[in-house]
Amino acid sequence: MKRQEALRILEELANSPNMMKHALAAEAVMKMLALRFEPEKEEKYAICGLLHDADYETTGKSLERHTEITVEKMQELDGDEEVIEAIRGHCNRAPKTSMIAKAIYAADELTGLIVATALVMPEKKLSQVTVESVMKKFKDPSFAKGANRDQIKTCETELALPLEEFARIALVAMKQIAPELGL
Domain ranges for the chain: 3-181
Per-residue pLDDT, 92: 75
The structure's pTM equals: 0.95
Per-residue pLDDT, 94: 80
Per-residue pLDDT, 62: 75
Note the residue count of the chain.
183
- CA dihedral angle for residue 82, residue 86, residue 89, residue 90, rounded to 10 degrees: 180
User: What CATH number labels 3-181?
Assistant: 1.10.3210
